[in-house]
Amino acid sequence: MNQHTLKRSYTYKGNGLHTGQPVEMTLLPAPENNGIVFQRIDLNGDSFVEAKVENVSHTSRSTVLAKNGVEVGATEHLLSALYGMGVDNALVQLNASELPILDGSAKPYADDITEDGLQDQRVERKYFTVTKPFSYKDEKSGAEIVVTPSDRLEIEVEVDYNSKVLGVQYADYHDGMDYAKEIAPNRTFCFFHELEPLLSHNLIKGGDLDNAIVIVEHPVPQETLDKMRLLFNAGDLKVTQGYLSNVQLHFSNECARHKLLDIIGDFALLGLPLRGKIVAKKSGHSINTKAVQALIYQLK
């Protein structure tokens, strides 16, 4: 199979989830062997950051890349969409430090690429092939990622927050599945009790209740709901079956599917499509990117 790029450019406008900054971002076709590269067009000089794991700056609530002082945050949803849709090469131009959150999923990107298809390129695609079993575990959190050989990409995810609402959720994906329909629409999520601490730590400035699933684990007084309604400029808020009433689930296991979406985005930082099977428990951006780093080190 040959490499692929976009057939045309796409522009998206919105706010960064954590910075709250308005941002305009354009996806453009790129030549063979370019990979996925971000460019901060609001900065002077060399403002390019390659989507590779060596450029991971930090993973607090999202995957942030940085190079030579140039930072690009919340990269995982776009990278997931490009990987899942088969885009090997693209230039991503943006005029702020964080990608737009849009609806909290990868659906806007996947829908646009589905409509137009991809541009076939003349150079053969290369793969990162797993040749022996590999595991990475965080003893403190119990999070674990195991990667074993396979002739295609396969992912199995288990999500367990000791939550009465979520229970234990599972999701799986493999090459050949319809990424745009099965994975891309799944939105980011958080627990209601996390919202106030996130706000107090100067995060989720660009959040609203249309781009996240909010899980309500414990009873919430109406005055607290009213406070959140004002903070997020939302309509009337209620708790329905353990979720804020602002959204309806796309899938019963949407939270697990979103974790799978994130894994695809973070593993895109290998720089090459993966041939291997990933089994992840309690995954997050930190262990995802550390596992990618360790996997590259092991192969070398």
Domains detected in the chain: 2-125 (3.30.230.20), 189-244 (no CATH)
- pLDDT for 152-202, tens place per residue? 999 999 999 999 999 999 999 999 999 999 999 999 998 888 876 765 565
Q: Provide the CA 191 distance to its chain's centre, in angstroms.
A: 18
Is 19 within 8 Å of 32 (Cβ atoms)? no
CA distance 269 to 289: 8
Is 166 within 8 Å of 255 (Cβ atoms)? yes
Say which residues have a Cβ less than 8 Å from residue 171's Cβ, sequence separation at least 6: 156, 157, 159, 253, 256, 257, 259, 260
Q: What is the pLDDT of residue 256?
A: 98
Both tokens assigned to 79? 């990278």
Of 244 and 169, the structure prediction assigns the larger pLDDT to 169
Q: What is the pLDDT of residue 202?
A: 58
Instruction: With a cut of 70, say whether residue 297 has pLDDT above it.
Output: yes
Both tokens assigned to 148? 């074993």
Name which of 23-37, 99-113, 138-152, 213-227 the model is least confident about: 213-227
Is 35 within 8 Å of 268 (Cβ atoms)? no
Both tokens assigned to 65? 């890349």
pTM of the model: 0.94
Q: Which amino acid is at 165?
A: V
Q: Provide the CA 116 distance to its chain's centre, in angstroms.
A: 22
Using CA atoms, how far residue 178 sits from 114, 175, 182, 184, 297, in Å, is 10, 8, 6, 9, 31
pLDDT band at 269 (very low <50, low <70, confident <90, very high): very high
Active-site residue flag, 250:
no
Both tokens assigned to 37? 């590269």
201-228 mean pLDDT: 76
Q: What is the pLDDT of residue 244?
A: 86
